[in-house]
Amino acid sequence: MEHDGRPLAADEFDGRHRHPPGVASVHVRAVVTWVAIFPLVLLGMSLLGLVAADWPVPVRALALTAVVVPTAVYVVVPTLLLGFLRLQRRIHRARRPGSTSQRTEAP
């Protein structure tokens, strides 16, 4: 999609177009990716420090990213995004007029 000749980011809209429902914005995906990557890198660095302390830094970085990137991309990020979207839907349903969580019983 473009607006005024400029490509739109995944979460931008020009008044006529929005990102599809059920798709997290680019900002949410960035935060979720960071939340996934940071603990994986921390754990990986700790474990590599035990077995590969004398390896050259580029080799340690290669070994670390060879494990962390696929784990994050194929397992952790999709799981976190699915959880986020489920939570978002639950909150949206709870705020909808007439939802069971907002109904009040007559006295």
d(CA 82, CA 103): 28
pLDDT at 23: 80
Mean pLDDT of 38-64: 96
- The alpha carbon dihedral of 6, 11, 16, 21 has a sign of positive
pTM score, whole prediction: 0.68
According to the model, what pLDDT value does residue 99 have? 58
DSSP state of 76: I
Lowest mean pLDDT among 30-34, 64-68, 89-93, 96-100: 96-100
Cα gap 11→101, rounded to integer Å: 30
Place of tokens 């900002």: 27
pLDDT of residue 93: 87
Measured in residues, the chain has a length of 107
Tell me the domain boundaries of the chain: 24-95
